[in-house]
Each structure stands twice: as C-alpha cells, then as structure tokens.
Amino acid sequence: MRSTSETMTFDPVELTGSTTRMFIDTNVFMDTDPRHKDHLKSLFERIAPQIESGGSPVVVPTKVIDELSKFAKKDPSTTPAAQAAAFEKAKNALTFLRSAEAHGLVRTSLGDIGNPYADDLFVHLFEVYSSTYAMFLLTNDVTLQLRINLMALQLNRSIAAGYLIPGGHVEVPSLETIARRASAKLRRLRQRQATPQARASDTLEIESLETTLEDLFQEVPLLASLDAGTSTGARPNPPSDDTGDGRSRRQPFSTTAKFAGPDEIITVTVVPSAGDDILVDSPQGIVQMQLATKLGEGGEGAVYSASDSHVIKIFDEHHITKHREAKIRLLSARNFDEPGICFPEAIVRNTYGEFVGYLMPRAQGSEFSKVIFQPRRLRRTFPDWTKADLVDVAISFLEKVSYLHSHNILLGDINPKNVLVDDEKNVTIIDADSWQVEGFPCPVGVEMYSPPEVIGKRFPEFLRTAEDERFAVATMLFMILITGLFPYARSGSDGDVSKLIREGNFALQFKDRSNKDQPAGKWKYMWSHVQVDVKSLFWNTFHRDGTRYSSRPTDAEWLKAFRNYRRFLRSSENFDPMSNDIYPTRFKAMSPATPLYECESCRCSMAGIWREETKTFSTPRLCVDCRPALVACQGCQRSMAPDKLSNGKCRNCSLPTCTDCGRRFRPQAPGIAVCGGCITSACRECGSRHKKASMKFGRCPTCHDKDVAARARRMELDRNRLCTRCGKPFITFGNVEWHLSNHKAVPTTHKMKSGVYPADCVPIPRSTTSASAHEGVAPDTKSSGCFVATAAFGTYDCPEVWVLRRWRDTVLLTSPAGRRFVASYYATSPHLVRLVGGRSWFTTPTRWLLRRFANQLNRSGLASTPYDDPPAAVHPIHTSSGGAYRQRTSTKGTH
C-alpha cells in the first residue's frame, strides 16, 4: 500500500497492456486550460503503437460520448466565452474519437447500461471489473479521483485515477493532495449553495464528497487532521453508538445539509410492471431481472416480489422524482443492514437506465393500524398478549427509530401504516423513500403525528427537526400503549385534529390534575395502570403545562423509561395484577394495601376506593356497571338509586302533607293528619292550649315571656340586702328565694361556704361602721328593728321574726314594763349586733334560742304569717306607741 503522501507517475503505455484498461472522462476532452494544451495529443502519440500492436484500446464509455454530444450541440453564441471554448473542444473531441475508433484506438461501446451520471458509471465499472483488470481513469474531477483512489484502498485493487501531465504521461496525486483538494471543493460548493449561483447538482455533489471524504478519513485516519473545518468538522453531532451491540456501523448522514429545494418529477420512458425487465443497481453491481408478481399497490406505486427475502417498489409516474432518486442513492450506497428496517439496498431502473424504484428487504408482520390500534383486532390477533408485550413492541419500535436517528435519518411520516409488527413483537419500519435524509425532506405526513409547530406547513417545503420527530415518536408510543387512542382525544371537541394538537389539552387525569374532558370509555383505566414514570413523561410531553412540552424526550429517554416499565411489570413493585392487562376494567389500586375484590353480580375485579375523610377504603358491593342506573324522583327530580324510590318517588316525596301547615311530615301513627308542630298542647303555667311549634319549654308564649322576666330578676342583686361586713349588695333575689323556700337562714355577708370572703369584700373600718351602717340602713327603718333576730336569721322577714315582731307589738308594747324592755332592747341590741352579729358562735345559738322562743310564742297564738310593722313602730319609743298598737290590732283581724 502506498503512503498517503506519495505521488505516482505512469507511462500510459503501461496502462494499455492486455490486462489493463484505461478510461477517459468527459472533462479531459473539454479541458480548455492552456497549460494542458497538447496533453491528449501526446498521450495518444505515446500509446498508439502499443495499441496497434495488440494492446487494449482506450475506453471512452458511451455515456461520455453522450455528454460530449450534448455539449457539442449547444449554441456557443449564447454562452460565456470560457464555456463556448469548452463546447468547441467537445465538438472536436467527437470528430477525433470517431476517427480514433475507426483506427481501433478507442472503444466507445462500453458502459451503456444507462447510468444517468458518468461518475457513477465509472465507479460501478471499476468496482465490477477491477477484479479482472488493472484499471486507470483519466479525469480532472477531484471528486471522481477521490472516489476511485479510495476504492483502490478499500478493495485493495489495482486501480487509480489521475490526470495528464506534459509529455502524455499520467500522474496520480497523493491521497493527501486529493483529500486537500476535495475538502477545498466541498467548501466552495457549500458556499455556493447558499448563493443564487447554486446549481441543482450541487447538493448531490456535496453529498457525494462528504460521504467519500468521511470514508477516506475512516480508512486513513491520519488524513482527517488535514480536514479541519470541512466534512467531519462540520458535523455537530458525531454519532453515538446507540446500538451498543457491536453491529457494524455506517457513517451517519450530514445534519447540516440545506433544504434541497422543491422536488421535480423525472419523466421516464416507461414505468415497468410485472413481467417487464428492470436493472437492479446496487453497490455490488448491476443485475438485470424481470419484475415478478405484484404484491400490492399504494398511493405512490406498487410493490413486487423480488425474492423470498426482498421486494421491489416501483413508483408510479407521479412519484418518480429527483428527491426520491437522490435519497435512494444516498441510502443504498451505505449498505445498511439493520434487521427491522427496510433500507433501500439497490436502485431499480427501467431498461432505459431511468430511476423507477428500489430494492429492499421484505417486511414481516402487519401494520400497527391493523393489529394494535384497534382493540377488537388486537384481541383477535394476539389474544394472549399482556401489557408487557405492548411494552416490548414499544421498545422494539424505539430501537429501530433510534438506529435511524443515530444516522441522522428522520422518518418524518411516522404513522401506523408505516410500522409493522409480527407475532414475535418485532417491529419493522418501512417506507424508506419518504424519510428525510440530508437536504431531502419527507414530503408526506399525517396530521395526528405532527407537532403544533409543524401544523399548517406543507410537508414537501421544509426540513423537519429532531424535535418535530420526537412528537411523532411520543404519539406513536402512547398509541401503542393505549392501543390506538389519540393522545389529544377528549370530549367536547369538533373532531379538528390540528386544533386539538395546538390546544395541548391532554385530557387524561394525572396526579391531582383532574380533567373533565377525559374521553369516555375504558381508556382512562388503561391510562391509570400505566407505570408512573412513563405516565409522567407522557403527561409532561403532551400537556401544554408539562415540563417537556417544548423539549420533548429523546429516544434514549423513552428507551430508558420503557425498559424500566418492562422491569417494573415483572417486579414486586407491580402490586396490582390488573396492571398486566392490556384492557383493565377498573382504575389501578391506590397502594398494596388497597383491598381487591369482586363485584357480587358480575364478578369483575374491583379495588377499594380511598376515603380521605375516614382514612379507610370503601368497598361498594357492586361495580359501576352492575349498580342500577339512577332514576329521577317524580316529586323532587333528584337522581337516586331505584331502590330508594317507591312508586317513582323518593322517601321524602312519599310522605303525607300536614293539613294545617302543608309541610311533609313523618306520621307517628297512621291516620294522623297534622305534623308534630301543628298538634296543640296545654301550657304548663296557664293551661291554655297552643300549637306545639309556638310553645317553649311547655309554656305558651305569654307564660314563656313571664318566665324569662322572672328568671332575669332572680339573677339580679337584691340592693336592699347589704353585706354586713363590707356594706355592699351581695346576694341575688334568686338566692334569697332559695334560702327562704328551703327554710334556711339567708346569708348576711359575702362569706362563702368555705368560710372565706371574696377579695372584693373589704371590711368597713370599725370606727366608721356605726355611722356608715346607720347611713346605709337609715332610709329603711324596718331593718333597724329587732336587731338580734335579724342578725341571727339574716332577714327581717321570716316566720320567726314575724312572730317576735307580733309579740313585740301585741304583747310587750301593751304594758309599761314591756315598753321599757323594748326601749332598752332597741338601745343596746344594735351595739351587740355590731360587735358579734357576724360571728357564728353568736348567731347560731341565738338563732336556736330565738327559734325555740318564737315557736313557743307561735304555739301560744301569735301567727307566723308575714307581718308588716305599723308605721313608726320601729321606733316605738319616740312615737305614740298606743296609736301604733291600735292600728296594728285593727288590722290583725284581717290575717
């Protein structure tokens, strides 16, 4: 193997021996560079004797003759001078070649196999025949030099491409030189591509240069260092080895190619059909064969059987286009061989050499749309499948898609008719000619799989982004798992898919995000059982409020999530057995603690429903389907279970109405026509009859008001009774009443049962007691009488005191001695009371003595009924006691 910096020079005589073939490219004949003048002439002068004496004639393929003829026919007057000179050269060359062929120096009959480009033709010829001959190509085109010399390296064959140098010798530049020139050309073409001077062929040429340079750098890594800023440097995304299992890798396509412009239909002479001859043009060579049985027909053409393992797609005349041809060429050139992806393996041409279709592996399985996206058919086709099988399908799909993406191929038109699945869960991707490769867009698409940012654009007019593709991948994954449900299906829509996508209202419930637009049916159960991480990824991708709405998950993220889902399904974390079903019939159980049981009627599985209020699971007997439908009550129109109704009415509406107030009531016994509120009853105070509803505590309204007033009075302080200790009111009327009705002495001070005085009972200073006491009692003359008794009994009005007062007025005051006793008593007793009136050692025995005495008096005839002192009787000493006495006695009879 030669070194990369070695330039080789050959004598052309060596290249025209019997086992050697020399070819000349069109551009050599049209070379107008004055420095190259006479090079061709010298060449033929040199080799003519050799050929004449039995060497091999120089090969100028028919394609080259065709190209020369095309140029020769052009009108030089309408073109720039440089081009006109080249056209002139072409004309001369044709004249020369005709005579040279007549002399046996040149062969032009080779290579008429209809390759549209002379470049490709040479490459193919060299590939096919280099095993037989040593071959040399004269060309000024650096791209072709690169391709041929690279092939020499790759296939280790005796082939080379070079140009003429003075004296008719030929030179093969070093690989370094070729690489440098090719890189420079690539840069020029890329620059020109962005300008109006760009030519339609540039894209193809750029593609070809990029690929070949890549291959060269792979073959000779040393050269890659020369190449800063061109092909490899221009690739922002060096491929990551996604497959990871040591499969052979192909170079990824460029991600920087610009949009190739609008596609154009290629008019072909004939579109072959079954029975017609075709040429299958693969990197391994060209094979002629007959088109066999038609297998099917689609919107773009028909598919024919090629062999047990391969099929041929032939486009119809509307779909034979430049973009399709370029894409098939790009894809088939790389020899992709990835199971489950129907890569084009060869271009198919008609017998005129025109592109009409391609050869690809035969796909296995059925379209997703026919087996997975329709519950009825999924059950029929794969009756034993579980959720895990769908997860496997999703993983298989992701693996294929991620392989394509790692080579910078976008599928573009991801839809359930382009993805197949077999009963081993292997997914196959078809429809390679619609893929987006480099500058060639995917011209078709299905709205359901188009992200909001793409909706409204025309598919053939732009290049999709990886982000666009991720939307389609996410949608497809969702529809695999939920078997055909469109992620944005929701109630309340008018069927406008693009609107649904633009809204981003993903309606299935996630965590606490309830959504009243959830689609009807069992979809919500399917969604509920999806493993939570996958669910979260879906929700965040599809819902406009999601975190991944505008930066959608990559293939790698999905693969991780779905592989984890598969692991989850087999693990103990998967506590609800129904999560394994493709079509669950209920929501997922909340936790491992959730009771799982069967509906009593249909035996379907049920899970307890968590009640936050009671912190328990409620377990209704019947499932929703078996629960009887709710019926509206004929009375109040509220919906309720039918067993709650009798004669069409709910319990409340079935009750009789009160004949009095008209309200419904529950009769305590049959035959009662009025409600409890309208029954009458006697007032416990006054005995009058009233409606129970108007009575309170058994009292009529009037008596109730009185009672309220009386109660209020009982709570009031008796301002006439003052604490003998502090001189302030201290006892309520109610308290006094109680003591009297229980024949107990009414307290005279604040003193409490415990014998302690409350803090606000401040004793009156002794020195002023008399005065203030007198002041306090002065207005009420009554309380100044019968001091001892009052102190002992705590009140001036009690039976004992009344008896004593009667005794005073009716007995004592009637005699002089008695009057004297009374006078002295009233003179001394206040002092005594002031000294010891609050002490129990005094009051208790005194009370006992007085009670005994009063009882004696009572028995002797003095009444114990209430007694009012005669006027001024409290101070009998200062008044006319006789008058008082008489007055008293005159009233006595009334008692």
Partner 1 sequence: MARINIENEDLFENPAPRVPVALCLDTSGSMDGAPIRELVAGVNQFFDAIDKDEDAHDAAEICIVEFNSGTKVIQDFAGVDRAQRISGIDARGATYLGEGVNLALDTLETRKKMYSDTGVLYYQPWLVLMTDGGPNGSAAELERAVERVTKMIGDKKLTIFPIGIGPDADMSVLARFSPTKPPLRLQGLSFNEFFAWLSKSVARVSQSSPGDAPPKLDLEGLAGWAEL
Site of interaction with partner 1 (CB under 8 A)? 369-370, 373-376, 415, 417, 446-448, 483-486, 489-499, 507, 517-523, 629
Angle at 409 between CA 405 and CA 412, to 5 degrees: 100
- Of residues 376 and 511, the one with the C-beta less far from partner 1: 376
The single-letter DSSP state of residue 222 is: G
d(CA 843, CA 832): 11
How many other CB atoms are there within 10 angstroms of residue 639's CB atom?
11
- Shortest Å, Cβ 494 to partner 1: 6
End-to-end CA distance of the chain: 156
- Shortest Å, Cβ 173 to partner 1: 54
Residue type, 518: Q
d(CA 790, CA 788): 5
d(CA 648, CA 632): 8
Give the residue among 316, 315, 313, 274 at the shortest CA–CA distance from 293. Answer: 274
- Shortest Å, Cβ 377 to partner 1: 8
Could you tell me which residues come within 8 angstroms of residue 625 by beta carbon, excluding any fewer than 6 positions away?
A: 599, 602, 604
- Of residues 92 and 498, the one with the C-beta less far from partner 1: 498
- Shortest Å, Cβ 507 to partner 1: 7
- Of residues 313 and 805, the one with the C-beta less far from partner 1: 313
**474 contacts 401 by C-beta, under 8 angstroms:** no
- Shortest Å, Cβ 432 to partner 1: 20
**151 contacts 127 by C-beta, under 8 angstroms:** yes
- Shortest Å, Cβ 296 to partner 1: 13
Give the residue among 802, 800, 810, 807 at the shortest CA–CA distance from 851. Answer: 800
- Of residues 475 and 881, the one with the C-beta less far from partner 1: 475
Q: How far is CA 814 from CA 416, 807, 865, 886, in A?
A: 132, 10, 21, 10
- Of residues 226 and 444, the one with the C-beta less far from partner 1: 444
- Of residues 246 and 299, the one with the C-beta less far from partner 1: 299
- Shortest Å, Cβ 381 to partner 1: 12
Q: What are phi and psi of 394, to 5 degrees?
A: -60, -40
For residues 607, 610, 615, 617, the Cα torsion angle rounded to the nearest 10 degrees is -20
- Shortest Å, Cβ 614 to partner 1: 25
- Of residues 40 and 371, the one with the C-beta less far from partner 1: 371
- Of residues 441 and 837, the one with the C-beta less far from partner 1: 441
Furthest C-alpha separation in the chain:
196
In the block, which residue shows the tokens 């008593």? Answer: 825
Could you tell me which residues come within 8 angstroms of residue 16 by beta carbon, excluding any fewer than 6 positions away?
A: 22, 47, 50, 51, 55, 56, 57, 58
- Shortest Å, Cβ 530 to partner 1: 16
- Shortest Å, Cβ 446 to partner 1: 4
β pairing state of 58-59 and 106-107: parallel
- Shortest Å, Cβ 390 to partner 1: 14
- Of residues 228 and 629, the one with the C-beta less far from partner 1: 629
Residues 297-323 as b/e (b if ≥16 CB within 10 A, e otherwise) read eeebbbbbebeeeebbbbbeeebbbbb
- Of residues 496 and 780, the one with the C-beta less far from partner 1: 496
d(CA 639, CA 650): 9
- Of residues 630 and 778, the one with the C-beta less far from partner 1: 630
- Of residues 351 and 493, the one with the C-beta less far from partner 1: 493
- Of residues 377 and 706, the one with the C-beta less far from partner 1: 377
d(CA 160, CA 144): 10
- Shortest Å, Cβ 628 to partner 1: 9
Alpha-carbon Rg of the chain, whole angstroms? 59
- Shortest Å, Cβ 609 to partner 1: 17
d(CA 344, CA 359): 6
